[in-house]
Amino acid sequence: MNTLFEAIKEAHQVLRPQVRVTPLEFSPLLSQHSGCDIYLKCEHLQHTGSFKFRGASNKLRLLTNEQRQQGVITASTGNHGQAMALAGKLAGVKSTIYAPEQAAAIKLEAIRALGGDIELIPGDALNAELAASIAAQQQGKTYISPYNDAQIIAGQGTCGMEMVEQQPDLDAVFVAVGGGGLISGIATVLKKLSDKTQVIGCWPANATSMYTCLQKGQIQEVEEQETLSDGTAGGVEPGAITFSLCQQLIDQKVLVSEQEIKEAMRLVARTDRWMIEGAAGVALAAALKLAPQWQGKKVAVVLCGKNIVLEKYLGAVSE
């Protein structure tokens, strides 16, 4: 963990100004509604509309010249792919993104618009990750996992460095969990610099891969149902380094229903005029659900992204 923290500190120093410092905004209306002092970490305002640009930028800056020339292959349901495409464009590195066939069309269009090539794979996000890894080996290119990579995690951890600088006495931070890269990076920082801050991992009840693996004590396949939080959906890669990090660093775990996600997305649109994707709604829904535990305390919610199909968003917030 010490090595990872040092890597996060280095990334925090060198990634700006390419990576935006996103606001940590106090929300008066959400605070009034919940009884907590709620701060929103606005990662949906990051380049490409999610936190993923942090990890992608960090990974690409650390490639060798030979690796840059060969290009990279990665896998994504959308956000990581957009981040890799833009970071690759800025670094002059060709990126190919393997995506599950059910990935949102608007996200795939954005990847193409940013210069990324796309290969569609049957099945879920884990299938795309495995296919991308095999293709990279066959083609002699660098495979970049969306989360199972210390340099990616170090990039995501810069979000935690910013939060500590912006509000050093947070009592809790709520983070949606998919593969675990974001929460691993943030929690590594908080355990070093703000030990009193509790790290709360948040999942949609319909897609609990990492949650179930943590409960069982081992990485295993988990059957998932459809969820608004498509950014956190999909299995955990065998041998993922985020598994042990999540075991060590997450203080509390919470599941939220699809209805609770919708209500959170609707509420933040009303109170703070933010349009967020389902994964961000998961973190806010969890904070609202556990609000009785944190009355009068300072709570941060990571709004991890805003990339959602408009029709799906309107359907969620208008019900």
- Please give the pLDDT value at position 118: 96
Average the pLDDT over 260-268 and give the result.
98
Tell whether the model's pLDDT for residue 105 goes beyond 90: no
Least confident of 128-132, 204-208, 249-253, 273-277: 128-132
Tell whether the model's pLDDT for residue 277 goes beyond 90: yes
pLDDT tens readout for residues 49-78? 999 999 999 999 999 999 999 999 998 878
Confidence class for position 80, pLDDT limits 50, 70, 90: very high
Phi, psi of 29 (to 5 degrees): -75, -40
In whole angstroms, what is the distance from residue 223 CA to residue 27 CA?
36
pLDDT tens readout for residues 139-194? 999 999 989 999 999 999 999 999 999 999 999 999 999 999 999 999 999 999 99
In whole angstroms, what is the distance from residue 266 CA to residue 270 CA?
6
Confidence class for position 103, pLDDT limits 50, 70, 90: confident
pTM greater than 0.85 (yes/no): yes
Tell whether the model's pLDDT for residue 210 goes beyond 90: yes
- Please name the amino acid found at residue 278: G
pLDDT tens readout for residues 126-143? 788 889 999 999 999 999
How much of the chain exceeds pLDDT 90, in percent?
A: 88
- Encoding tokens for residue 62? 């650390």
- Encoding tokens for residue 43? 């990662």
- Please give the pLDDT value at position 318: 92
Neighbouring C-alpha atoms within 13 Å toward the C-beta of 129: 20
pLDDT tens readout for residues 32-45? 999 999 999 999 99
Neighbouring C-alpha atoms within 13 Å toward the C-beta of 147: 33
Indicate the SS3 state at residue 23. Answer: coil
In whole angstroms, what is the distance from residue 41 CA to residue 298 CA?
13
- Write down all domains in the chain, each with its CATH number in brackets: 2-50+150-318 (3.40.50.1100), 52-144 (3.40.50.1100)
